[in-house]
Structure 1
């Protein structure tokens, strides 16, 4: 058997994830001929076919699937090793991978900017998603999670910001339609509500129960979309108090107690306990708290 080259495995893994030579070459910043050379060399060295070539791309053989599954685990282990080594070194360089709920990614931008000004050698990789990415996966360093305090045993959770929600409408919408004063009024208005994936939230559920389907004129699985629709004047919808403060044309609907502000949890800065000594993670938390303290005060 020929001597195996780890670079060949890296290229093959990239092709497997990308699905084609061209996409893999773009990710690796080389030409497709170079990628093909790595693939051919690895298959020759193993005497195994890893890919089936098609006009529409490269499909994995059974051996290719085994390679990809194994290398995915190795990727995670290498990321974890990188994190541990950088934590020991305690230098403010390299990267920090952060995930946060979509509706809060823009709010965090000023804090991220300040962090970069203070530590210019650190590169921030931000993933905005409403999915919970487990800290033990090794794919992220820090997760900013909204809701009740996370209780996973290997997770450290630090409070960043209390979250309150209320129902709002634009000044123009209220000027034309007025606002509900009791639950019995709800179906005289247009409602902009999260879809069923958010109906478990008590503050959403208690209002949904009073609405007819025809009066819910807009739905989305993202609170950011609801926010934009409310700001546009389309109808009434739930926003966090922190988000609503950015739009002077919005009016909080306090006439009906069911629509008034309610504490729905907090924003939590979470990371794996193995990273508790990581200087970058501690510093980013301090910057975030500094930049969000004025929101809590409001």
Structure 2
């Protein structure tokens, strides 16, 4: 049989297995990702090399390193996977029914605000099942990891995304009632010397108010450090000191007191993102229109206005 015919008999599963080996560096890691035994991975890679008549990997004690041919195959396999993911997104966007699963991604610090809105949406559209992925990692809409993203900060720049401005959110410094009674209010951000603060272990320098804390406060003023912003509220209530909160977080909580008006420079933007292939899907449109309406109704609360 000619080499040309032999190549055409190549199983695309073998190429996917070789791609996993190249991406993960060892047979064991590739086998775990694929859910097969490492001997299966070894056998399929060897068979693929025999069929192609070329070595795809340099074998080392520490793992498998792609040869030049292996790099070419890896790039082609990655392009194929991306095209397949895009096709799935396009197929999903043809759904014109208000049914099925809708995956929403955002960050943990917005969960208390968003989850009640998700419950409202489910009452309006009971046939749509929601999945809410709250994490710092930005899920890739183009790979179908989520259908709608709600992200704070800088405007997303992916050219394949439809990006809409959802809201501006205000932040201020809050303490519990007892703390404020003992230590008083602040006339402005410069009036901080007499106060104790709650900060984070990691610096979070991309966040304006965290950058202010890192650059302005002395080490002696930090009474406690926590892993992320979700721990600010319980630490404030416990009396450790003051910390920045979204103004909506403090609404209706009589135990909290703002120490100053929300600084204009601490406001940040919230962005609503969808992938271009999914943007016009009926369930996506239903959700994004609902969300924009509810955020517009809550504008005063989000900006910390009376």
The question of a shared fold, defined as TM-score above 0.5 by the shorter chain, is answered with yes
Q: Distance in 2 between matches of 1:16 and 1:127?
A: 30
Pairing 1:223-262 to 2, within 5 Å after superposition: 223-227=229-233, 229-245=235-251, 249-254=255-260, 257=261
Aligned pairs, number: 291
Measure how far apart 1:5 and its partner are.
0.8
1:182 to 158, 182, 187: 187
| Matched residue, 1:272 | 275
Of 195, 206, 229, 1:198 maps to: 206
Distance 1:83 1:93 in 2: 16
Q: Which runs of 5+ in 2 are unaligned?
A: 302-306
- Whole-angstrom CA distance in 1 between matches of 2:137 and 2:103: 16
Residue 104 of structure 2 contacts residue 130 of structure 2 at CA under 8 Å; is this kept in 1? no
Q: Does 1:24 align with 2:17?
A: no
CA root-mean-square deviation: 4.1
- Show the counterpart of 1:126: 133
Query: 2 CA distance for matches of 1:242 and 1:63?
Result: 56
Tell me, what secondary structure is at the counterpart of 1:275?
Answer: coil
1:101 is matched with 107
Instruction: Please name the residue that 1:167 is paired with.
Output: 173
Structure 1 unaligned runs (5+)?
none
Deviates more, 1:118-127 or 1:12-21: 118-127
Q: Does the 8 Å CA contact 2:196/2:242 hold for their aligned counterparts?
A: yes
Using the TM superposition, give the Cα deviation of residue 222 of structure 1 relative to its aligned residue in structure 2, in angstroms.
4.4
Counterpart contact for 2:233–2:245, Cα < 8 Å:
yes
User: What is the alpha-carbon distance in structure 2 between the residues aligned to residue 120 and residue 23 of structure 1?
Assistant: 39
Between the aligned partners of 2:114 and 2:66, the Cα distance in structure 1 is 40
Structure showing greater Rg: 2
CA contact (8 A) 1:53 1:59 kept: yes
Q: 1:76, 1:138 within 8 Å by CA — same for their partners in 2?
A: no
Change (3 A) 1:272 1:227: same
Name the counterpart of 1:50.
56
Q: What is the TM-score of this pair, normalised by structure 2?
A: 0.71
Q: In structure 2, how many angstroms separate the alpha carbons of the residues matched to 1:83 and 1:292?
A: 27
Tell me the TM-score normalized by structure 1.
Answer: 0.73
Rounded to whole Å, the distance in 2 between the matches of 1:235 and 1:159 is 34
C-alpha change, 1:251 and 1:271, in structure 2 (3 Å) is same
